[in-house]
């Protein structure tokens, strides 16, 4: 079952390189598993880009970096100085928009045609306005998908950009795609590349009223991280 967060390390490296050109003595904030992007792969990419050290909040993370021979500040849990790179490395800083490094994708596990006025998910907080096709997507709050995204967050199913429909459950959520078609096994993009017509993590932040780093940092271990160089 596809639960995948794809991380483009080239985006992170290029953002870091641009920052280093004006701030040569930089430390990268890699708390919360590098904001959900994966501590070790991100640290390796940033080392290649010339970042001199990493800030983490857990002793275990510092040990993992040391085991890999990567530089880690002995100052665990506090910022070492003004040259600290954080959410902007991942395209999560709304004040300084940059390409986002992560694309989050789930998989359709069921498709059902329903009549008008059909209640959806717990509490029926959403009812279909007309006969519609509902798709069930295998991602939920157990994967770190914030429940506040219920009835708010945009998602892309095939060529259709809709929104999460009804309350998010532990392992799944529903999307009303109207008269469009879909099949079990089809991918669903929660956020990704706007050049491909996909919602962005900044779209999610706007829709949910929460900071973008909160969205990625909460993503759980059931979601496979994949990487491109």
Is the domain of 29 the same as that of 121?
no
Domain harbouring 57, CATH code: 3.20.20.10
Strand partners, 7: 102, 227
Q: Are residues 180 and 151 in the same domain?
A: yes
Instruction: Specify whether the CB–CB gap between 56 and 30 falls below 8 A.
Output: yes
Q: What is the mean pLDDT of the segment spanning 33-49? A: 96
Q: Judge whether 215 lies within some domain.
A: no
Percent of the chain with pLDDT over 70: 96
Confidence of residue 44 (pLDDT cuts 50, 70, 90): very high
- Assigned domain for 96 exists: no
Q: Which pLDDT score, from 0 to 100, does residue 73 have?
A: 64
Q: In this structure, is residue 166 part of a structural domain? A: yes
Give the number of domains in the chain. 2
Q: What confidence score (pLDDT) does residue 95 get? A: 76
Same domain, 129 and 200: yes
* Domain end (from 70, 90, 110): 90
Domain edge (last residue) among 30, 59, 90 = 90
Do 15 and 59 fall within a single domain?
Answer: yes
Kindly state whether residue 33 falls inside one of the protein's structural domains.
yes
| Residue 180 and residue 128 in contact, taking contact as beta carbons nearer than 8 Å | no
pLDDT tens sequence across 47-92: 999 998 899 988 899 999 999 988 776 755 554 555 889 999 999 9
Going by C-alpha positions, the residue among 50, 90, 73, 58 that lies closest to residue 225 is 90
- Tell me what pLDDT residue 52 has: 83
What is the model's pLDDT at position 74? 79
166 lies in the same domain as 190: yes
Q: Are residues 205 and 107 in the same domain?
A: yes
CATH number at residue 193: 2.40.37.10
Q: List 23's β-bridge partners, or say none.
A: none
In a domain, 42, yes or no: yes
pLDDT at 22: 83
- Is residue 95 domain-resident? no
Confidence band for 215, pLDDT divided at 50, 70 and 90: very high
Same domain, 126 and 203: yes
How far is it, in rounded angstroms, from Cα 150 to Cα 167?
Answer: 5
Q: Could you please report the per-residue DSSP string of 29-91?
A: E-HHHHHTT-HHHHHHHHHHHT--EEE-S-HHHHHHHHHTT----S-TTS--SS-EE-GGGGT
Task: Using the 3D structure, point to which of 90, 120, 154 is the last residue of a domain.
Answer: 90
Average pLDDT over residues 113-123: 97
For residue 224, is it within any domain? no
Q: What tens digit of pLDDT does each residue of 179-205 get?
A: 999 999 999 999 999 999 999 999 999
109 & 171 share domain: yes
Statement to judge: residues 80 and 163 lie in one domain:
no
- If asked whether residues 77 and 141 sit together in one domain, one would say no
Asked if residue 86 and residue 112 are part of one domain, the reply reads no
Residue span of the structural domain in which 51 resides? 8-90
pTM as predicted: 0.92
Q: How far apart are alpha carbons 23 and 224 in whole angstroms?
A: 33
Q: What is the mean pLDDT of the chain?
A: 92
Sign of CA dihedral 171, 203, 135, 147: positive
The tokens for 35 are: 């904001």
Does residue 222 form part of some domain? no
Residues 179 and 123 in one domain: yes
């Amino acid at each position: 079952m596809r639960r995948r967060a794809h991380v483009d390390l080239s985006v992170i490296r290029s953002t870091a390189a641009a920052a280093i050109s004006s701030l040569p003595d930089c430390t990268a904030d890699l708390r919360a598993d590098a904001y959900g992007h994966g501590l070790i792969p991100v640290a390796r990419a940033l080392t290649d880009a010339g970042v001199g050290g990493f800030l983490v909040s857990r002793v275990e993370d510092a040990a993992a970096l040391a085991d890999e021979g990567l530089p880690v500040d002995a100052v665990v849990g506090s910022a070492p100085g003004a040259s600290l790179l954080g959410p902007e490395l991942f395209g999560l800083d709304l004040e300084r928009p940059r390409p986002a490094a992560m694309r989050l994708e789930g998989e359709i596990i069921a498709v059902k045609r329903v009549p008008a006025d059909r209640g959806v998910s717990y509490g029926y907080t959403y009812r279909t306005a007309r006969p519609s096709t509902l798709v069930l997507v295998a991602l939920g709050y157990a994967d770190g998908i914030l429940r506040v995204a219920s009835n708010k967050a945009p998602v892309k199913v095939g060529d259709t950009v809709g929104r999460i429909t009804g309350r998010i459950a532990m392992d799944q959520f529903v999307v009303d795609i109207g008269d469009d078609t879909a099949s079990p096994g089809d991918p669903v993009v929660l956020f990704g590349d706007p050049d491909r017509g996909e919602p962005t993590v900044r779209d999610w932040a706007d829709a949910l009223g929460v900071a973008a780093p909160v969205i990625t940092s909460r993503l759980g271990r059931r979601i496979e991280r994949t990487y491109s160089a």
